[in-house]
Amino acid sequence: METLQKQSLVEKDRQNVWHHISPYSKESSPMIVEEGKGSWITDHEGNRYLDGMSGLWCVNVGYGREELAQAAYEQVKKMAYTPMTQSHVPAIQLAEKLNEMLDDEYMIFYSNSGSDANEVAFKIARQYHQQNGDTNRYKILSRYRAYHGSSMGALSATGQALRKYKYEPLSSGFLHVAPPDNYRKPEGISVEQYNLQKAKEIEETIIWEQKETIAAVIMEPLITGGGVLIPDPVYVEEVERICKRHGVLLIIDEVICGFGRTGKSFGHKHFNIKPDMITMAKGLTSAYLPLSVTAVRKDIYESFKSNEDNSHFRHVNTFGGNPAACAVALKNIEIMERENLVDRSVELGERLLNGLDELKDYGYVGDIRGVGLIAGIEIVEDKLTKEPGSKERVGKLIADCKDRGLIIGKNGDTVAGYNNILTLSPPLSSTDEDIDFIISVLRKVFSENE
């Protein structure tokens, strides 16, 4: 123990902490973050960074909110825990609030993470069909490039092979089709036609797979982690029609897109659709405490209410709906409303995209796209062939931004396992100056890397 205490924090970290999804590296030091305020974080050596990714796309109201700490403190002091086999006041209030935001049509099931929320949605979809006599409907249709979580079912729904192949066999019954990628659409076809064609591929897959076997389609309103792929509205609306036509449930994954990230309270509100289930996490508490939700249409819930044995949803988790997490979520939503963060998401997103527009002139920038306060910069080796930017080029841009005090992300899977799209998802509470800082760092870094 004594020797451990003599070691630096970095050495202790190296010896004891297994980091998430990070390749082992002898050379690079882990970033040990000690403080956060607004959009800025400070590491243990006092270096400050603007967190252009809000952690993992989640700290929507920014860091250091005393009100959120207070909400958690008060609730823990009063009543720290009760399982959701029972109920408690913050869970009831939060469910009511979410339903107000969702037009009062859903039952709220609590879990801990986005992965959990999606697992719950898959299980509900399967049981719902079984209880309606549709006993063959078990397959879940998802898209390539999508990310839906890391647990076995959620990973099975994920469409990024590099994250998956070492853990196979995963759950059976998960299918994938390609999403629309408007930047890479074929020549000679309009965006709308192309998006309708992509929706048609979902319908074809449903038919080829025998439509009586398909339980649900899951998709994000826009693919976030797979490279910020923004569909034309006709795509999402057509997918909903296809689902209805074939008795398939539509699950919308709002884990990133919810709570103002795309400039609406929920991402699916950009479209004229009514999902059967909606999953949420991250921005629900701005990640101050873990909490997730599967919102299920009330008419689906009805088929779980019969008196037949075992017709209830036989799913429980210890921490889901934790009272302090629910209290924090309520306060988080209150802050979002008080500070008009959904509108700010639109304003700041426009400011960001306008400021980044000039980067399009660089030979290695293929596309810049965004909606609300989420943006992607697609790096290419060649503008004409659209060959994805090399690992080295993308890595250097990210490292140079960090050297200048800006954290950005990378994502994509344009080619399996290949992240050539830089991502930005700063806190919705960012100031205009924060956004200008992001723009100025990116402009400098891009010009230095010409």
The residues that touch ligand PLP, with contacts defined as CB under 6 A, are 56, 113-115, 118, 147-150, 220, 224-225, 253, 255-256, 281
How far apart, in whole angstroms, are the C-alpha atoms of residue 261 and residue 60?
7
Residues in Cβ contact with 286 at an 8 Å cutoff, skipping those fewer than 6 apart: 58, 59, 60, 61, 62, 65, 68, 259, 332
Residue with Cβ nearer ligand PLP (371 or 439): 371
Residue with Cβ nearer ligand PLP (149 or 349): 149
Q: How far is the CB of 354 from ligand PLP (least distance, A)?
A: 26
Q: How far is the CB of 80 from ligand PLP (least distance, A)?
A: 22
Sign of the torsion formed by the C-alpha atoms of 434, 438, 443 and 445 = positive
How far apart, in whole angstroms, are the C-alpha atoms of residue 67 and residue 71?
6
Q: How far is the CB of 100 from ligand PLP (least distance, A)?
A: 24
Residue with Cβ nearer ligand PLP (36 or 225): 225
Q: How far is the CB of 375 from ligand PLP (least distance, A)?
A: 16
Residue with Cβ nearer ligand PLP (202 or 256): 256
- Answer whether 242's CB lies under 8 Å from 210's CB: no
Residue with Cβ nearer ligand PLP (380 or 425): 425
Q: How far is the CB of 289 from ligand PLP (least distance, A)?
A: 12
Q: How far is the CB of 224 from ligand PLP (least distance, A)?
A: 6
- Answer whether 177's CB lies under 8 Å from 205's CB: yes
Q: How far is the CB of 120 from ligand PLP (least distance, A)?
A: 12
- Answer whether 78's CB lies under 8 Å from 311's CB: no
- List the beta bridge partners of residue 176: 142
Helix (H), strand (E) at residue 409: strand 409-411
Q: How many CA atoms lie within 13 A of 199 on its CB side?
A: 19
How far apart, in whole angstroms, are the C-alpha atoms of residue 417 and residue 6?
40
Residue with Cβ nearer ligand PLP (411 or 439): 411
Tell me the residue nearest to ligand PLP as measured from the CB. 114
Q: Is 139 exposed, middle or buried (0-12, 13-18, 19+ CB in 10 A)?
A: buried
Residue with Cβ nearer ligand PLP (149 or 370): 149
Secondary structure of residue 192 in the 3-state scheme: helix
